[in-house]
């Protein structure tokens, strides 16, 4: 309907030569249908230049044992889930260097007797993306937190590990979203 109205108004313009009317019609058609979107032709980022990523185990600069393994697993899963990269293959185009900078576990809630029933785990991570020749492409810093229950002493360690896993997954999703929107 809109095209008929616009087309009709262009043809009704008095005093223009038929060639100019045709040119205006072509420009209008391109303007209406040329929305600027384009389909992704290849996998990867940087215009298909980076198609594979190696994710070594993150460095753990904290006193929390095995915390970097949660991050490494989360980043590997999320990068594979994007479908843009081959992850951990030989001779990858890039590699990620992750450093677990800090973990803080703080009381979050107390019961009526003043005993801690919830804690929060706060994680700070620094991620660097390097080309295979060692040149730094970009560096990111992420932090996030998660609350977990500690009122059942038998389940406290399990809840803490689940909280670490949940935070790691969220940070990895934010990283993947960042590289997909920036490149």
12 and 100, same domain (yes or no): no
Where residue 8 falls among pLDDT bands split at 50, 70, 90? low
CB distance 110 to 93 below 8 Å: no
11 and 70, same domain (yes or no): no
70 and 159, same domain (yes or no): yes
Where residue 48 falls among pLDDT bands split at 50, 70, 90? low
107 and 139, same domain (yes or no): yes
Q: Is residue 42 included in any domain, yes or no?
A: no
Burial (0-12, 13-18, 19+ Cβ within 10 Å), 12: exposed
115 and 156, same domain (yes or no): yes
User: 149-174: b or e for each residue (b if 16 or more CB lie within 10 Å)?
Assistant: bbeeeeeeeebbeebbbbbbbbbbbe
Range of the domain at 8: 2-33
59 and 29, same domain (yes or no): no
27 and 86, same domain (yes or no): no
Where residue 29 falls among pLDDT bands split at 50, 70, 90? low
Q: Is residue 39 included in any domain, yes or no?
A: no
110 and 142, same domain (yes or no): yes
Q: For residue range 59-109, what is the model confidence (pLDDT) as tens digits?
A: 999 999 999 999 999 999 998 888 888 888 788 889 999 999 999 999 999
91 and 121, same domain (yes or no): yes
Q: What are phi and psi of 104, to 5 degrees?
A: -120, 130
- The mean of the pLDDT values for the chain is 83
Lowest-pLDDT range of 4-18, 111-125, 159-173: 4-18
Q: Is residue 28 included in any domain, yes or no?
A: yes
How much is the average pLDDT of 32-57? 67
Query: Tell me, what's the pLDDT at 2?
Result: 44
Q: Write the CATH number for 113.
A: 3.30.160.150
20 and 88, same domain (yes or no): no
Domain count, the chain: 2
Q: Is residue 44 included in any domain, yes or no?
A: no
Q: Is residue 38 included in any domain, yes or no?
A: no
Can you give the pTM of this predicted structure?
0.73
78 and 156, same domain (yes or no): yes
75 and 19, same domain (yes or no): no
Query: Tell me, what's the pLDDT at 10?
Result: 47
Q: Is residue 45 included in any domain, yes or no?
A: no
Q: For residue range 113-139, what is the model confidence (pLDDT) as tens digits?
A: 999 999 999 999 999 999 988 899 899
């Amino acid at each position: 309907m809109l095209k008929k109205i616009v087309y009709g108004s262009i043809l009704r313009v008095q005093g223009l030569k038929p060639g100019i009317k045709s040119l205006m019609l072509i420009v209008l058609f391109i303007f209406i249908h040329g929305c600027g979107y384009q389909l992704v032709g290849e996998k990867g980022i940087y215009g298909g230049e980076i198609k594979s990523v190696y994710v070594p185990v993150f460095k753990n600069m904290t006193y929390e044992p095995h915390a970097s393994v949660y991050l490494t697993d989360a980043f590997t899963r999320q990068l594979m889930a994007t479908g843009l990269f081959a992850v951990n293959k030989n001779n990858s185009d890039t590699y990620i260097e992750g450093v677990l900078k800090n973990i803080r576990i703080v009381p979050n809630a107390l019961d009526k007797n003043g005993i801690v029933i919830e804690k929060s785990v706060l994680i700070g991570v620094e991620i660097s993306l390097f080309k295979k020749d060692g040149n730094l492409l970009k560096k990111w810093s992420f932090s996030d937190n998660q609350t977990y229950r500690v009122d059942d002493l038998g389940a406290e360690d399990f809840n803490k590990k689940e909280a670490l896993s949940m935070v790691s997954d969220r940070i990895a999703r934010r990283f993947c979203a960042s590289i997909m929107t920036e490149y």
